[in-house]
Amino acid sequence: MLHKFRYVNPGDRSELLDLLAENGSSAKLLAGGTDLLVNIRGGVQRPQLLIDVKKVKGFQGISWSVTDGLVIRPGVTINELLRDATVRDKFSLLAECAHDLASYQVRNRATVIGNIVNASPCSDMAPGLLCLGARVVISSKRGERELPLAEFFTGVKKTVLASDEILERLVVPAAAVGARGSYRKLKRIQGHDLGIIGVALMKKDGLISLGISSSAPTPVLVTGLHEGDAEEVLVAASRKATSPISDVRCSKEYREFMIGTFVKRLNREVK
Amino acid sequence: MLEHMEPSELKLVGRKALRVEGVGKVTGEAVYVSDMALPGMLHAQVKKSPHARARIIRIDTSKAEALYGVRAVIVGKELNYKLGLYVVDKDILAKDEVRHYGEAVAGVAADTIEIAKAAVDLIEVEYEVLPAVLNHMDALKADAPLVHPNLGKYDYVPVFSPQAGTNIPNLSKLRKGDVEKGFAESEWIVEREYTNPSVQHVPMETHVAIVEWKTGDEVNIWSSAQSPFTVRNLFCYTFKLPLNKVRVVVPNVGGGFGGKAGIHLEPLLACLSRKAGGKPVKMRATREEEFCLLPCRSALTYRIKTGVGAAGKILAQSLTLYWDAGAYADYAVNVTRASSYSAAGPYDVPNVKLDAYTIYTNKPYGTAYRGFGHVEFFWGLERHMELIAQVIGMDPLEFRMLNLLKPGSITITGERISDHSGDPAKCLEAAAKAINYGKLTPQEKAREERTGRKIGKGLATLHKAPAMPSFTATAAVVKMNTDGTVIVNIALTEIGQGSATAMAQIAAERLRFPLDRVKVTIEKDTDKEPYDWQTVASKGIILSGNATIMACDDLLKQAYETAAQVLRAQAVDLDHDAQGIFVKHRRDRVISFPQLSVGYAFPDGNAIGGPLIGVGRYIAQGLSNLDKETGQGLPALDWTFGAHGVIAEVDCETGEYKVLKVASAFDVGKVINPDIVRGQAIGGMIQGLGTAICEGYIYDEKGHLLNPSFTDNKIPTAQDLPEEIETIAVETAQLDGPFGARGVGEHPMISVAPALGNAIQKATGAELLHMPIRFEDVWRAVNAKEPIDNWITKTPTGSCRSDPATRHSSPDSAALP
């Protein structure tokens, strides 16, 4: 199936927002393209216009300050995140998630924000970002709004983004510094694979958060758990928040079992 | 072939040598058909069926034909040809009925790939969907739809036995001894059923060909194919053309593994070229097309019933193999035939009843795949041996050793094993020793303590003979250049197995030349290379190796005859070294090879001799057709025996496991090149691990392939290699092998899966009957849960694609992450 589309490469933010406002519903934003281009090739998505965000002034790089927290912009690739000293030192959970995403070559192209806006249930970045309390800053010609990442996903590959909006910044609050956490992903091979399930567990200030992928229509966040809670309590909370299904990758039964197993393992490993 | 030579006498054979085609491959200079473009070349695409079985009501190609840049559009109806390797059952494009998901129904040739794709989208096909038969066991039922109602009318090669009016294009039988008596005398009878799904070869270079059908029916074919002469033969058979009108050229090939053994895209591209006025037409399959337009490896259901005597000797075996051919017989009928004389393994079994069925279903069809059936049936057989040992309370190694073939044993087809047949016991012992079988080392015990995981060790044996006609033949031509270098022409294709390097070593050894004076052609051309049957079956080293030696001897004989005249000596008194020929007892005068290469000229200008061109012809010796009722006869050029030992570390709670070590031993007769043997051993082993741990086609209940890409059809990566790999070459010389060598191309892939399954069982007690062995399968087996059979699944949608908008629905579209 051959699909023709237009490609534009705006250099500044207002131009981008104009393009989105004009073409929103028939346009798709292009960053790494590791999902979008594959989908276009497969005939699953047929956008009329691709708006490349990589050259937009101000859309590159990661910044960190105690006041603004960790700010990740649309051009930031997974490997850029992995190379960032602040991420490595202060947000190792995020680095773990990034390291488990696809292969090195794909990580050179794929972006952090792309992995979020794609809204795949098996997102590798979402579990860690959810635990860390990340917030999303959404922009359009109409203005800017900010909300917790936990409120961003609305269904399988669906988000709160309106057709004229872009997720412009992912912000991990400075308050998350000092959290201890880890990510575990069940795969079919040792090499790169989509998560059959993925679980991030984070401990901070006596509280435990869980971020779980491939187990519900969206990645889910579980809060309200405490260090010292019995394993069964954690497992029960994870089960309540998820609704895995059977598919070509795995059965529902095994997914449920492995979510529980990973929660228990992570609770023991994260000191 | 050769009198015994001490290793110390050998200068090149048995020693390391760099691959002769290696530099081009690592620099990217090597040319593959994928890289090629010809002047005026068109690009082809095909329209594929979204249904497993459907009647074609109407195909409207008018819009496609009207598209600017489209040069030819064809549909099945206009092509009155039948294709087939052994049973001639396939149309070039589906005609009245489509028989599998992804089958081609129309073809387009256009100026660009983009135009061809757009044209395919414009072709309208109206189908009447018919009930499909998907599970091969269902296809045997009396009321099953017939995939080929005309089976009784098709041409076929007489060694096969199609059953008209059924879905069985071949039934091969074997009877040895009295199986009922054997069971009656048995102390234990163990019966189980083992299964595995279809898998894909996944060569790095997908199927690709360029074909031009020129004026006067001159056809030129460039193809990424294993066997140029087979492409030519089958092509000419189908189109009724003389063989000298069709030329097949095979440059470098990016992997074959059996999937490129037969004929594939060439006939379709030829028809498109002819319709487009003779312009060359190219098509390269996409990865998704590799999975369902092109063939796969057959699924198998293997029922084994074994009777064992009080002392642990196997007394009787009833073996029934149900091979899932898919929609066309292709190689599956010959895989079935090969299994009918091999499926008892390297064991001495006095009484055997074997029935091997090939079964049509409405699924992509099966073809040759490294191991040619042995990977599949050894999964069952070597798991079965483990389970029998458990039942009778004997160690599995001891049980195997007790029953292995040894000199004097009679195989199930009646062949007597000799001292030179190869040594399965030595292989098994070597593999067992390499993994410290039967105990855990202190380090392993410490590791268990540290990880909380259990370590298990498992073994499995293997054997395989080339599956080939009794009269399989090949030839080699060795031509000397005026500087004393030589060119070796053989049609054995270098598909990564290292045969070009091995042949160069053999030729250089025989000629007593340094290796760099020998060139073995890489590009194969049916107009230039001498005949070879096929590059398959691990038969290249013996047949082409022997032909190469004979061609070298022929060249030397010619050189000696000329030199004898120059030296005024008898040929019998002559000898030679790398430089030239001399009289043995008077070595001061040497007639150099350059002087002899194209004829010798005396100082006065008179000349004798002529260009030195040696020809070697070799044909398999002493093989016979198998009796159709009893399966008795001599099918095996040689048997390569082997064994794997696997150490696996298993989480008994979750079924997750890791392969810590694989040790593999093969009786290769004589190592020609140790690095290439090791490379084959490791490459085959990891391919076998893929089959063992994760690979397999999954269909929905309508026969749609749900995982036609690497998204959900995983293959192992470099990270999946075991922590430790050991390869061992046993050398029991094959009397008719070049320098004693026998083939080992396929064998490393065989029996990796059961060795892993046996190791996992040792660690956990899991009784695994199905491969691949996914973590969930181990978990289910450990917890005595019903195994999941999702190879035809009731739940086609995934957690990552449960949104209908993103669901994979057409073979023209890619699978989604």
Chain mean pLDDT for chain A: 96
Q: Cα–Cα distances in Å, from A185 out to A78, A248, B359?
A: 17, 17, 40
Distance, CA of A126 to CA of A214 (rounded, Å): 11
Number of H helices, E strands in chain A: 10, 14
Q: Compute the distance between CA of residue B418 and CA of residue B300 in angstroms, rounded to an integer.
A: 32
What SS3 state is found at B365?
coil
Chain B residues close to A189, C-beta within 8 Å: 693-694, 714-717, 719-720
Interface touch B814/A189, C-beta < 8 Å: no
Alpha helices in B110-187 (DSSP H): 113-122, 179-184
Residues A75, A146, single domain; the answer is: yes
Cβ neighbours of residue B5 closer than 8 Å, sequence gap 6 or more: B739
Same domain, A170 and A190: no
From the candidates B800, B808, B810, B813, which should be mutated to test the interface with A, based on the most A CB atoms within 10 A?
B800
DSSP string, B2-22: -----GGG-SSTTS----TTH
Q: Does residue A171 share a domain with residue A67?
A: yes
**3-class DSSP state of B374:** helix
pLDDT at B815: 35
Please work out, in degrees rounded to the nearest 5, the angle formed at the alpha carbon of residue A184 by the alpha carbons of A183 and A186. 150
Gap from A152 CA to chain B (nearest CA, Å): 18
- Axis crossing angle, helix B374-392 with helix B332-342, rounded to the nearest 10: 30
Same domain, A159 and A258: no
Contact list in A for residue B121 (CB cut-off 8 A) is: 1-2
- Name the residue facing B803 among A122, A156, A253 (closest C-beta): A156
The answer to whether residue A12 is domain-embedded is: yes
The percent of residues above 90 in pLDDT, for chain A, comes to 96
User: What whole-number distance in Å separates Cα of residue B508 and Cα of residue A38?
Assistant: 50
| Chain B contact set for A157 (CB, 8 A) | 803, 805-806
User: Do residues B734 and B673 touch, judged by C-beta distance below 8 A?
Assistant: no
Residues, chain A, total?
271
Q: Is A48 contained in some domain?
A: yes
**Residue B8, Cβ neighbours under 10 Å: how many?**
6
Beta strands in B577-684 (DSSP E): 580-583, 586-592, 598-601, 607-611, 613-619, 640-650, 657-667
Å from B76 to nearest chain A CA?
21
* Chain A contact set for B814 (CB, 8 A): 38, 41-44
Tokens of B442: 């202190």
* Residue B94 vs residues A70, B81, B101, B149: alpha-carbon distances, Å: 59, 11, 11, 15
- CATH number of the domain bearing residue A171: 3.30.465.10
Chain A CA closest to residue B802: A156
Distance CA A56, CA A10 (A): 6
Query: Looking at CA atoms only, how far is residue A178 from chain B in angstroms?
Result: 28
Q: Report if residue A234 sits inside a domain.
A: yes
C-alpha to C-alpha distance for A246 and A260, rounded to whole angstroms:
16
- Cβ contact B227:B490 at 8 Å: no
Are residues A72 and A144 located together in one domain of the fold?
yes
Residue B348: closest CA among B429, B428, B407, B261: B407
Indicate the burial class of B66 (C-beta count within 10 angstroms; 0-12, 13-18, 19 or more): exposed
- Counted domains in chain A: 3
Residue B638 and residue B465 in contact, taking contact as beta carbons nearer than 8 Å: yes
Domain that holds residue A191: 185-269
Same domain, A169 and A79: yes
Q: Going by DSSP bridges, is the β-strand pair B640-650/B454-464 parallel, antiparallel, or unpaired?
A: antiparallel
Q: Are A98 and A168 in contact (CB under 8 A)?
A: no
Question: In CATH, what number is assigned to the domain containing residue A47?
Answer: 3.30.43.10
Nearest residue to B292 via CA among B548, B52, B43, B3: B52
Place of tokens 């058979």: B237
The reply to whether A241 falls in a domain is: yes
Closest CA to B474 of B526, B408, B545: B545
Q: A155 with A227, same domain?
A: no
Give yes or no: residues A20 and A119 share one domain.
no
**Amino acid (one-letter) located at B548:** T
Of A153, A175, A197, which residue sits at a domain end?
A175
Q: Tell which residue, B322, B299, B204, B193, has the closest CA to residue B255.
A: B204
Contact A120 B813 (CB under 8 A): no
Residues of B in contact with A257 (CB under 8 A): 654, 779
CA angle, residues B142, B145, B147, in degrees to nearest 5: 120
Residues of A within 8 A of B653 (CB-CB) are: 261
Residue A240 in domain: yes
- From A177's Cα to the closest Cα of chain B, the distance in A is 31
Query: Quick check: is A132 in a domain?
Result: yes
Q: What's the one-letter identity of residue B480?
A: M
In the chain, the amino acid numbered B806 is T
Which 3 state secondary structure label does DSSP give B383?
Answer: helix
Distances (CA, A) of B301 to B146, B336, B609, B615, B780: 20, 12, 62, 46, 20
Q: Tell me which H or E stretch contains B154.
A: none
For the entire predicted model, the pTM comes to: 0.96
How many helices, marked H, and strands, marked E, lie in chain B? 18, 31
Residues of B carrying an active site annotation: 746
Measured distance CA(A57)–CA(B412) in Å, rounded: 76
Looking up tokens 């998704």, which residue turns up?
A: B288
Q: Mean pLDDT for each 10-residue chunk of chain B (817 residues)?
A: 70 96 96 98 98 98 98 98 96 97 98 97 98 96 97 96 97 98 97 95 98 97 98 97 98 98 97 98 98 97 97 98 98 98 98 98 98 98 97 97 98 97 98 98 98 98 97 98 98 97 98 98 98 97 98 98 97 97 96 98 97 98 96 97 98 97 98 97 98 95 93 94 97 96 98 98 95 96 84 48 35 37
Per-position DSSP letters for A108-160, written without gaps between them: HH-BHHHHHHT--TT-SHHHHHHHTT-EEEEEETTEEEEEEGGGTEEETTEES
Residue A206 lies inside a defined structural domain of this protein: yes
Q: Is residue A1 part of a domain?
A: no
Q: Does residue B159 contact residue B283 with C-beta atoms inside 8 Å?
A: no
Q: Are residues B488 and B478 in contact, defined by beta-carbon separation less than 8 angstroms?
A: yes
Could you list the beta-strand ranges (E) of B23-135: 42-48, 54-60, 70-75, 97-98, 104-110, 124-129
> Among A135, A156, A175, which residue terminates a domain?
A175
Two tokens, residue B622: 């002493």
- Distance of alpha carbon B295 from alpha carbon B46, whole angstroms: 16
Q: Looking at CA atoms only, how far is residue B704 from chain A in angstroms? A: 13
Q: Collapsing DSSP states into helix, strand and coil, what is residue B138?
A: helix
Q: What's the ipTM? A: 0.96
CA distance A247 to B579: 68
Nearest-by-Cβ selection for A214 from B774, B800, B808: B800
Q: What percent of chain A has pLDDT over 70?
A: 100
Query: Do both A150 and A245 map to the same domain?
Result: no
With CA atoms as reference, report the closest residue to B511 among B570, B551, B463, B481: B551
Q: For residue B479, what is the enclosing H or E element?
A: strand B473-480
* Tokens (6 digits) for A11: 């250099």
CA nearest to B103, candidates B80, B68, B132, B63: B132
DSSP string, B201-247: ---SSPPEEEEEEETTTEEEEEE--S-HHHHHHHHHHHHT--GGGEE
Domains annotated for chain B, with CATH where assigned, are 40-130+207-284 (3.90.1170.50), 299-468+624-793 (3.30.365.10), 473-532+540-619 (3.30.365.10)
pLDDT given at position A169: 98
User: Do A192 and A120 reside in the same domain of the chain?
Assistant: no
Is residue B449 packed enough to be buried (19+ CB in 10 Å), middle (13-18) or exposed (0-12)?
A: exposed
Q: Domain boundary residue among A154, A175, A196?
A: A175
What would the pLDDT profile of A56-101 be if each residue is shown by its tens digit? 999 999 999 999 999 999 999 999 999 999 999 999 999 999 999 9
Q: Which of A157, A186, A190 sits opposite B806 (nearest CB)?
A: A157
Residues of chain A where predicted confidence (pLDDT) is lower than 50: none
Cβ–Cβ pairs < 8 A, chains A and B: 124
Do both A109 and A131 map to the same domain? Answer: yes
Residue A170 and residue A82 in one domain: yes
Cβ contact B788–A251 (<8 Å):
yes
